């Protein structure tokens, strides 16, 4: 990756939205002080709002909600190797039980986890307010980049191009 960029405010939120929408699933890490990986789980983001907050559905009584209540610092690792898109987000998480917000963000897919639908007494949202984010994007498709890497190995010149940078929120 050769091009480094700083994405600022509106552009940064647009970049964050774009990557979250493209990748969707992340490794959601709580209890960061332990660093043991046991408090990391895959989660699907459901929305990025105009302020850059990332929203997830979660069970009220889940371990992750309990961990967030003890320490709100979280890390999110997004990766789409097929597209060469990656992002790490550090932020503060909060539990939201506002029924209007639950209804606003609800989709039929969420019914898989909540048998009683959006009125399930165990449904909650997690809002992650990013404090920092960093991204890596490789330009081109996977096959083209594989050929570029092979040519780079043979010639000693890097032909794989892309962008990386801090997302200013």
CATH (domain of 21): 2.30.110.10
pLDDT of residue 10: 83
Domain span at 35: 3-167
Q: Name the phi and psi angles at 11, rounded to 5.
A: -65, -35
Average pLDDT of span 140-166: 53
pLDDT band with cut points at 50, 70 and 90 for residue 142: low
How many independent structural domains does the chain possess?
1
In the chain, % of residues over pLDDT 90: 62
Q: Choose among 77, 92, 82, 89: nearest CA to 42.
A: 77
Q: pLDDT per residue over 85-109, tens digit each?
A: 899 999 999 999 999 999 999 999 9
pTM (two decimals): 0.83
Residue 59 has pLDDT above 90, yes or no: yes
């Amino acid at each position: 990756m050769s091009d480094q960029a700083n994405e600022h405010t509106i552009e940064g939120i647009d970049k964050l939205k774009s990557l979250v929408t493209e990748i969707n699933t992340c490794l959601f890490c709580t209890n960061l002080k332990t660093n043991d990986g046991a408090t990391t789980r895959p989660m699907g983001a459901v929305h990025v709002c105009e302020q850059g907050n990332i929203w997830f559905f979660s069970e009220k009584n889940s371990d992750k909600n309990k961990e967030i209540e003890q320490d709100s610092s979280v890390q999110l690792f997004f990766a789409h190797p097929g597209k060469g898109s990656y992002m790490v987000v550090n932020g503060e998480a909060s539990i939201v039980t506002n029924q209007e917000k639950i209804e606003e963000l609800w989709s039929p897919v969420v019914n898989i986890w909540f048998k009683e639908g959006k009125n399930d007494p165990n449904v909650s949202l997690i809002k992650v307010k990013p404090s920092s984010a960093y991204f890596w994007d490789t330009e081109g498709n996977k096959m083209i980049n594989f050929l570029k890497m092979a040519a780079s190995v043979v010639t000693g010149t890097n032909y794989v191009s892309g962008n990386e940078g801090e997302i200013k929120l």
